[in-house]
């Protein structure tokens, strides 16, 4: 099976220490956003069944079948700072499927890091450009530089797994 380009280290990563610290944050980005801004919110952009991206099917267990796809933006002090894209295999129903369907504009991170029983896999990193579908999705919404950094990790609960990808938008640098 082909492996995607996501990597478990930041060799040649961003020069900005602020961006590097966000990328390597071991805890919840929601919690860090709450600490770093006066006003925090989550805007639901999309939730429904769709096809997993090619690299999600390879590494996230969606095996090319339909997945539940959720996209949100994390907003700090009125500015979108993170575009988050989450996939969950639609072939299995369980507690995680029900929870995802009910989240609405609440943060998935608040669930993943608060509920006992979740286990998180390794964080992986990728520098995105206009060849990656997540860069193109973000570019349709925001004015972007030529490259964006993203990270992702697999979270497991009761035999289900959700792949969470977080794309860091330029205004993240203002949060420190």
Instruction: Tell me the per-residue pLDDT of 112-152, one tens digit each, with 9 for 90 and over.
Output: 777 788 888 999 999 999 999 999 999 999 888 899 999 99
pLDDT in the model for residue 70? 94
pTM, two decimal places? 0.91
Per the domain annotation, does 11 fall within a domain?
no
- List b or e across 59-74, with b for residues whose CB sees 16 or more CB atoms inside 10 angstroms: bbbbeeeebbbbbbbb
Per the domain annotation, does 12 fall within a domain?
no
Per the domain annotation, does 8 fall within a domain?
no
129 CB-contact burial (10 Å; exposed 0-12 / middle 13-18 / buried 19+): middle
Task: For residue 84, give the nearest of 99, 73, 68, 100 by alpha carbon.
Answer: 73
Model confidence pLDDT, tens digit, residues 28-85: 999 999 999 999 999 999 999 998 888 886 555 566 668 899 999 999 999 999 999 9
pLDDT in the model for residue 56? 82
Total number of domains constituting the chain: 1
Give residue for tokens 């939730």. Answer: 47
Per the domain annotation, does 1 fall within a domain?
no
Per the domain annotation, does 34 fall within a domain?
yes
């Amino acid at each position: 099976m082909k492996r995607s380009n996501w990597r478990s280290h930041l060799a040649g990563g961003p020069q900005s220490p602020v961006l590097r610290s966000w990328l390597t944050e071991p805890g919840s980005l929601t919690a860090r956003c709450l600490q770093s801004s006066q006003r925090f919110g989550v805007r639901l952009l999309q939730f429904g069944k769709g096809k997993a991206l090619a690299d999600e099917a390879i590494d996230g267990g969606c095996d090319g079948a339909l997945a539940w796809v959720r996209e949100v933006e994390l907003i700090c002090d009125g500015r979108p700072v993170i575009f988050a894209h989450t996939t969950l295999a639609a072939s299995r129903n369980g507690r995680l499927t029900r929870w995802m369907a009910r989240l609405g504009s609440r943060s998935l991170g608040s669930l993943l890091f608060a509920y006992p029983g979740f286990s998180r896999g390794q964080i992986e990193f990728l520098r995105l450009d206009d060849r990656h579908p997540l860069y193109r999705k973000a570019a349709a919404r925001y004015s972007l530089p030529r490259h964006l950094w993203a990270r992702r990790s697999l979270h497991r609960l009761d035999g289900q797994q959700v792949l969470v990808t977080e794309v860091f938008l330029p205004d993240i640098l203002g949060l420190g």
